Amino acid sequence: MGRGKVYLVGAGPGDPKLITVRGMEAIRRADVIVYDRLASPRLLKHRKPESELIFVGKTPDKHMMKQENINQLLVDLGLQGKIVTRLKGGDPSVFGRVGEEAELLAEHNVPFEIVPGITSAIAVPAYAGIPVTHRDFTSSVAIITGHEYPNKTYTKLDWEHLAKGIGTLVFLMGVANLEQISEQLIQYGKPADLPVALIRWGTWTEQQTLVGTLADISRKAKEAGFESPAVIIIGEVVKLREKLAWIEKKPLFGKRVLVTRARSQASELVELIEELGGEPLEFPVIQIQPPSSAEARRLLDEAIGRLEEFDWVVFTSVNGVEFFFRRMRELRQDFRVLAGASIAAVGPKTAEALEAHGIYTQTPVPGQFDGDELLKELGQVVRPGQRALLATGDLARKALPEGLRSMGLEVTEVDVYENVLSTEGGEEVLNLLQEGKIHITTFTSSSTVTNLMEALSRLGAEDPCALLQGTETACIGPKTADTLARYEIAAAYMPPEATVASLVETIASGRRTLNYAGLETPGS
């Protein structure tokens, strides 16, 4: 068996978007990913489905695997012919012990590549509004380990040089030794009132910053219960934080938002949450797929085969459009057979999806984005005796077809897609809900509500409703709010328009809605 290759990759300080392009390529290529606790779990979602995950996380007081064993593991996997990505927080060559791992790989002739990452020593202060250099304060910076090892103590550091010859001092992994660090610097000449900042979980949702001076920062940290992982920044540049702190001013900073929408539809919602400073956590409880029933497929194919017979073709969602035209292509059906039919759509997104196929609606797009409003619009233009085809999903409401039949139309309903429950990646979501670390849960349809409840139950949650009551809920549309109400959960946020953009804008603005009983939601 030929030798594999080991990529020693810096994952950056935590924000998954701070990984390098080369680092992402290594994740996607890997047969095995060996990772630690400071690498964002969201990066692992970019791996191959069949890749193996090995967690070797370390905390200051506990090692899942000793460094020597990690070194040997990488060698063994490489000799087995595996493509291995060793994913490390920050930059692997800045106190990341990459040299030790690379040395052993070299000794065994296992090919390797060191992929630099953005070090937390620079990125974390930047996320707190503190540049490590500034022309008005200092042009030098030192990065120092703040963690003691048996063979390296603080007595071996040149404290006098650090105190007198360096501008900004950045200590990594030093919270436990903060008092000693402060005392040594003061002893060797740093002023007691020199500004200090501690930044915990920098660039993560949990980012916290504590500011003080060399004289009082240790006491403040103890009073605040400030624990690792944290970066210590010492120097005049800390004064810039008050003016330059940027991410903390974003409306969703510090918020972890659960996205339950199908992965194929979630990108816009995820991007908007990130843009406003929140952390989107994707748990697509709905998987959208073509109908699995032979009978449903037969009815769909039959309807597509006689499209020229319909006076109206009605689409109620973007999914309906995409799966309908996909099936037309599979059947090699010419789109021109729609020339004799009028087209109607629920909502502007559905209309835009149609326009992408060169199809334009013949009715005004309803302002309220739901089937009831479309029914009102159609009532102005349809005539008794006309034939209408409704291209919907398997969970579509019956109000629209029943309303059209009441107007004298002959209605054919076909399922062009179906919603299937998915629990993939749910263990992490369940753990975060139990720990109270999900702040907002979003629902874009009634099926996302029912599927999330069922998914949590299958994952072992005894009372899914209680878990969700520990978060704020945001939903699109009154029908989704009604579904939440059946679980005795009030929707804290419901946008005026049934769009993702309006949903995120409503959450960010803090404008709470009335719940299903007409009462203010808790905490309003």
pLDDT in tens, 288-333: 899 999 999 999 999 999 999 999 999 988 899 999 999 999 999 9
pLDDT of residue 18 exceeding 90: yes
CA distance 72 to 89: 20
Q: Encoding tokens for residue 385?
A: 């005796």
How sure is the predictor about 89, in pLDDT bands with cuts at 50, 70 and 90?
Answer: very high
Residues 34, 87 contacting (CB under 8 angstroms): yes
Phi, psi of 517 (to 5 degrees): -95, 5
Nearest CA-CA partner of 170 in 97, 238, 246, 227: 238
pLDDT of residue 88 exceeding 80: yes
Per DSSP, the residues of 86-114 read EEESB-TTSSS-HHHHHHHHHHTT--EEE
Residue 358 CB neighbour total at 10 angstroms? 8
Alpha helices (H) along 131-285: 159-165, 178-187, 217-224, 241-244, 267-275
Return the amino acid letter for 161. Answer: H
How sure is the predictor about 513, in pLDDT bands with cuts at 50, 70 and 90?
Answer: low
Q: Which helix (H) or strand (E) holds 134?
A: none
- 286-289 vs 410-421, strand pairing mode: antiparallel
Q: What is the pLDDT of residues 407-428, one digit of tens each?
A: 999 999 999 999 888 888 899 9
Q: What number is the average pLDDT over the span 203-210?
A: 94
pLDDT of residue 372 exceeding 90: no
Tell me the residue ranges of DSSP E strands in 361-409. Answer: 387-393
Q: Determine which one of 36, 91, 370, 415 is catalytic.
A: 36
Phi, psi of 75 (to 5 degrees): -65, -50
- The sign of the torsion formed by the CA atoms of 437, 439, 445, 447 equals positive
Alpha helices (H) along 40-199: 67-79, 98-107, 120-127, 159-165, 178-187
How sure is the predictor about 349, in pLDDT bands with cuts at 50, 70 and 90?
Answer: confident
Q: Which helix (H) or strand (E) holds 488?
A: none
Distances (CA, A) of 485 to 282, 286, 421, 475, 522: 23, 20, 21, 11, 14
Nearest CA-CA partner of 255 in 504, 521, 12: 504
CA distance 249 to 240: 15
Q: Determine which one of 15, 31, 91, 173 is catalytic.
A: 173
Q: Is 58 a catalytic residue?
A: yes
